[in-house]
């Protein structure tokens, strides 16, 4: 295995607010933890974007020759409806509404999550632990935090004492919040809480008699708090201090802030060297979110069966679209954006598919080694995939110029160009080499367009039986026609 970890990677560390050179704790090894999904509903494209960013980072670090242990959990208990520690457990609520077992909810949406990740060509993480599989570790951690004086028990629940912690530590250092401001800005939730202070958060929650997901503990039957799960699972597999912790920007506070506090309270040290936060995906200018319903599920985008987009898009086109912006920027998912990415993606694939037909020359008029290092420089600069893609398009230009005889490349440089473009496009960006012809979208579109035209002619001749027959038979074949003011479009189910 070739090692490239002489490449100097810089990571934007959310904790310090700076780009820093990446230096792993154990040379040649990387420990990376990313908060996984709460499996109470289908993942939306916003969730996919965050996991895709870390999939690309995992791929790049592996490519550099690091032995990466990538842990991404499944939250299958303990995540309350309100992230600020109130309301019903999301999974229990879903099970109650659908009158099924909580573990049926967990199974259904874990399977959905894995199917979606396979569709988008994700690499599996090294370990995918579940919260319910680590109850013992969580109970041990709570006991230690109580022993160290930073948590208290009330009526069968255990809370983290944020005020006590803040006397000797700095609560809020990741999200740059001050406890005094939090006190000022927190509204007391109907005064019913057992907590000493509203800023305290649950490490363990007492299970009411009707609560199905429950485990015995020194404090009675209950279930763990969401923040605690990630502390238990990350440190079990990566150690009390590890290299990289990632998640979406919305998890910085309170979730990740609480993870830092828990680890400092239990183990006396901050758990993570580099905190990384992926920015949010928006849908037509509004943050994509399950709670507001402003979401599009991957299946709906892949089939074209949704109210937002004019057509179906291939998984690699969506992946390409996401990689065209930095993981740290807000990204707005729009039809125009996807159409532009689709064009760019197929242009890149067409060029890559030309590579084997290029003629080698005795000399090179382009420096491929310099170009190759520019690709590395882009990824070394906090995984800047849009800049990398700009360099890949530079290579598309080279390929076309060599084809036209305007520029020349030797056999060795052609091989280097081919190897490098393949590595960055497929191994690191995770795209798959589909051409329009292979994906069949071109031919199918042309055929459906003919049928749409025949239907219009039938309507013009008042032959409504025929026009309805065309529409219905296409629907039976899984192709829906949509009549709009600008004509008829179609989607594939
Ligand atoms: P959840 O299942 O709600 O815990 O979310 C799983 C992951 O998706 C977390 O890392 C979230 O931060 C992330 N996430 C949620 N909404 C979005 C969004 N609109 N854009 C990007 N990431 C998101
Ligand atoms: Zn987490």
The CATH number assigned to the domain holding 344 equals 1.10.730.10
What does the pLDDT read at residue 440? 61
Going from the Cα of 134 to the center of ligand 2, the distance in angstroms, rounded, reads: 14
* Sign of the dihedral through C-alpha 57, 58, 62, 66: positive
Residue 493 pLDDT exceeds 70 = no
* Rounded Cα distance, 339 and 343, in Å: 6
The burial of 217, by beta-carbon neighbours within 10 Å (0-12 exposed, 13-18 middle, 19 or more buried), is given as buried
Phi, psi angles (nearest 5°) of residue 82: -100, 120
The reply to whether 2 falls in a domain is: no
Q: What's the rounded mean pLDDT across residues 314-342?
A: 97
Instruction: Identify the band that residue 181 occupies on the pLDDT scale cut at 50, 70 and 90.
Output: confident
Q: Which amino acid residue places its CA nearest to atom 9 of ligand 1? A: 248
Going from the Cα of 331 to the center of ligand 1, the distance in angstroms, rounded, reads: 13
Ligand 1 pocket test, pick from 40, 248, 254, 282 with the greatest ligand atom count within 8 Å of Cβ, gives 248
What does the pLDDT read at residue 445? 75
The reply to whether 4 falls in a domain is: no
Instruction: Identify the band that residue 189 occupies on the pLDDT scale cut at 50, 70 and 90.
Output: low
What does the pLDDT read at residue 83? 61
Going from the Cα of 46 to the center of ligand 1, the distance in angstroms, rounded, reads: 6
Specify the ligand 1 atom closest to the Cα of 40.
2
Going from the Cα of 359 to the center of ligand 2, the distance in angstroms, rounded, reads: 52
pLDDT digits (tens, 9 = 90+) for 377-408: 999 999 999 999 999 999 999 999 999 999 99
Q: Which amino acid residue places its CA nearest to atom 2 of ligand 1? A: 37
Two structure tokens written together for 438: 């292979």
Going from the Cα of 35 to the center of ligand 1, the distance in angstroms, rounded, reads: 9
What does the pLDDT read at residue 214? 94
Residue 149 backbone class (left: φ over 0; alpha: ψ -120 to 50; beta: rest)? left
* Sign of the dihedral through C-alpha 150, 153, 159, 163: negative
The reply to whether 1 falls in a domain is: no
Query: Among the three residues 210, 244, 278, which one is the final residue of a domain in this structure?
Result: 278
pLDDT digits (tens, 9 = 90+) for 267-321: 999 999 999 999 999 998 999 998 888 999 999 999 988 889 999 999 999 999 9
Instruction: Identify the band that residue 215 occupies on the pLDDT scale cut at 50, 70 and 90.
Output: very high
Specify the ligand 1 atom closest to the Cα of 287.
19
Q: Which amino acid residue places its CA nearest to atom 7 of ligand 1? A: 47
Flag the least confident range among 66-70, 201-205, 324-328, 474-478.
474-478
Ligand 1 pocket test, pick from 40, 42, 46, 48 with the greatest ligand atom count within 8 Å of Cβ, gives 46
197 vs 82: which has the higher pLDDT: 197
The residue written with tokens 């009390």 in the block is 240
Specify the ligand 1 atom closest to the Cα of 35.
10
* Rounded Cα distance, 273 and 246, in Å: 11
Residue 56 pLDDT exceeds 70 = yes
CA end-to-end span of the chain: 43
User: Best-predicted range by mean pLDDT among 5-14, 44-53, 307-316, 473-482?
Assistant: 44-53
What does the pLDDT read at residue 212? 85
Residue 4 pLDDT exceeds 80 = no
Specify the ligand 1 atom closest to the Cα of 247.
10
Q: Which amino acid residue places its CA nearest to atom 8 of ligand 1? A: 47
Give the number of whichever ligand sits closest to the CA of residue 325.
1
Instruction: Identify the band that residue 479 occupies on the pLDDT scale cut at 50, 70 and 90.
Output: confident
Cα 272–Cα 274–Cα 276 angle in degrees, nearest 5: 115
Q: What's the rounded mean pLDDT across residues 60-68?
A: 97
* Rounded Cα distance, 435 and 456, in Å: 31
Give the number of whichever ligand sits closest to the CA of residue 47.
1
* Rounded Cα distance, 256 and 261, in Å: 9
Q: State whether 159 and 292 are in the same domain.
A: no
Q: How many domains does the chain have?
A: 3
Going from the Cα of 330 to the center of ligand 1, the distance in angstroms, rounded, reads: 13
The answer to the question of whether 259 is labelled as a binding residue is yes
Where does ligand 1 bind, in terms of residues with CB under 6 Å? 35, 37-38, 46-47, 49-50, 247-248, 250-251, 280-281, 287-289
Q: Which amino acid residue places its CA nearest to atom 18 of ligand 1? A: 46
Q: State whether 422 and 445 are in the same domain.
A: no
What does the pLDDT read at residue 89? 87
pLDDT digits (tens, 9 = 90+) for 434-465: 876 666 666 677 788 889 989 999 999 999 99
Q: State whether 361 and 411 are in the same domain.
A: yes
Q: State whether 404 and 458 are in the same domain.
A: no
What does the pLDDT read at residue 191? 53
Q: Which amino acid residue places its CA nearest to atom 6 of ligand 1? A: 37
434 vs 61: which has the higher pLDDT: 61
Q: What is the CA radius of gyration of the chain?
A: 26
Going from the Cα of 38 to the center of ligand 2, the distance in angstroms, rounded, reads: 10
* Rounded Cα distance, 458 and 451, in Å: 10
Query: Among the three residues 278, 303, 334, which one is the final residue of a domain in this structure?
Result: 278
The answer to whether 76 and 83 have CB atoms below 8 angstroms apart is no
Q: What's the rounded mean pLDDT across residues 421-439?
A: 89
Q: State whether 257 and 287 are in the same domain.
A: no
The answer to the question of whether 35 is labelled as a binding residue is yes
Residue 192 pLDDT exceeds 70 = no
Q: State whether 127 and 162 are in the same domain.
A: yes
Residue 190 pLDDT exceeds 60 = no
What does the pLDDT read at residue 485? 66
For residue 232, what are the domain limits? Answer: 10-278
Q: State whether 317 and 416 are in the same domain.
A: yes
Going from the Cα of 248 to the center of ligand 1, the distance in angstroms, rounded, reads: 5
Specify the ligand 1 atom closest to the Cα of 288.
19
**What average pLDDT does the structure give for the chain?**
93
Q: State whether 330 and 450 are in the same domain.
A: no
The reply to whether 143 falls in a domain is: yes
What does the pLDDT read at residue 70? 98
Q: State whether 303 and 315 are in the same domain.
A: yes
Going from the Cα of 84 to the center of ligand 2, the distance in angstroms, rounded, reads: 14
The reply to whether 473 falls in a domain is: yes
* Rounded Cα distance, 168 and 65, in Å: 40
The burial of 59, by beta-carbon neighbours within 10 Å (0-12 exposed, 13-18 middle, 19 or more buried), is given as buried
Phi, psi angles (nearest 5°) of residue 407: -125, 165
16: domain CATH number is: 3.40.50.620
The answer to the question of whether 19 is labelled as a binding residue is no
Q: State whether 252 and 265 are in the same domain.
A: yes
The reply to whether 480 falls in a domain is: yes
The reply to whether 5 falls in a domain is: no
What does the pLDDT read at residue 446? 77
Give the number of whichever ligand sits closest to the CA of residue 71.
2
Query: Among the three residues 226, 261, 278, which one is the final residue of a domain in this structure?
Result: 278
What does the pLDDT read at residue 298? 96
Torsion of CA 364, 367, 373, 374, to 10 degrees: -130
Q: State whether 225 and 299 are in the same domain.
A: no
Give the number of whichever ligand sits closest to the CA of residue 230.
2
The reply to whether 303 falls in a domain is: yes
The answer to the question of whether 443 is labelled as a binding residue is no
What does the pLDDT read at residue 263? 98
Specify the ligand 1 atom closest to the Cα of 251.
12
Q: State whether 298 and 202 are in the same domain.
A: no
Q: What's the rounded mean pLDDT across residues 358-379?
A: 98
Give the number of whichever ligand sits closest to the CA of residue 43.
1
């Amino acid at each position: 295995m070739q090692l490239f970890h002489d490449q100097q990677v810089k990571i934007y560390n959310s904790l310090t607010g700076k780009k820093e050179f990446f230096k792993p704790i154990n040379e040649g090894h990387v420990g990376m933890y990313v908060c996984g999904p709460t499996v109470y509903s289908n993942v939306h494209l916003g969730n996919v974007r965050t996991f895709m960013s870390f999939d690309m980072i995992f791929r790049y670090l592996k490519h550099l020759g690091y032995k990466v242990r990538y842990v991404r959990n499944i939250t299958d208990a303990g995540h309350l409806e309100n992230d600020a520690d109130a309301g019903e457990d999301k999974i229990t609520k879903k099970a109650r509404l659908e009158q099924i077992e909580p573990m049926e909810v967990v199974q259904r949406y874990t399977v959905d999550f894995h199917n979606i990740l396979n569709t988008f060509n994700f690499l599996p993480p090294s370990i995918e632990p579940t919260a319910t599989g680590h109850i013992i570790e969580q109970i041990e951690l709570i006991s230690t935090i109580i022993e160290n004086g930073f948590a208290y028990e009330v009526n069968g629940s255990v809370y983290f004492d944020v005020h006590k912690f803040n006397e000797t530590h700095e609560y809020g250092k990741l999200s740059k919040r001050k406890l005094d401001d939090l006190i000022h800005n927190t509204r007391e939730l109907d005064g019913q809480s057992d907590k000493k202070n509203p800023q305290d958060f649950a490490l363990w929650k007492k299970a009411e008699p009707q609560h199905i997901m429950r485990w015995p503990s020194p404090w009675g039957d209950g279930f763990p708090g969401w923040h605690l799960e990630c502390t238990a699972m990350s440190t079990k597999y990566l150690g009390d201090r590890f290299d990289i912790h990632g998640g979406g920007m919305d998890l910085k506070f309170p979730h990740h802030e609480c993870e830092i506090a828990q680890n400092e309270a239990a183990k006396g040290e901050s758990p993570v060297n580099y905190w990384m936060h992926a920015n949010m995906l928006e849908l037509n200018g509004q943050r994509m979110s399950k709670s507001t319903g402003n979401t599009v599920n991957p299946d709906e985008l892949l089939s074209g069966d949704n109210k937002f987009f004019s057509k179906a898009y291939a998984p690699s086109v969506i992946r390409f679209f996401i990689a065209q912006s930095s993981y740290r920027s807000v990204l707005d998912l729009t039809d125009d954006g996807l159409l532009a990415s689709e064009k760019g993606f197929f242009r890149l694939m067409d060029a890559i598919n030309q590579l084997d037909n290029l003629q080698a020359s005795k000399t090179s008029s382009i420096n491929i080694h310099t170009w190759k290092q520019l690709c590395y420089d882009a990824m070394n600069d906090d995984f800047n995939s849009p800049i990398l893609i700009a360099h890949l398009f530079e290579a598309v230009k080279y390929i076309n110029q060599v084809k036209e005889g305007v520029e020349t490349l030797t056999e060795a440089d052609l091989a280097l160009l081919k190897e490098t473009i393949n590595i960055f496009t497929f191994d690191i960006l995770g795209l798959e080499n589909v051409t329009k012809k292979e994906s069949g979208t071109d031919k199918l579109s042309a055929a459906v367009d003919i049928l749409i035209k025949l239907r219009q002619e039938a309507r013009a001749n008042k032959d409504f039986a025929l026009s309805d027959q065309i529409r219905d038979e296409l629907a039976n074949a899984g192709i829906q026609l949509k009549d709009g003011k600008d004509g008829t479009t179609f989607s594939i189910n």
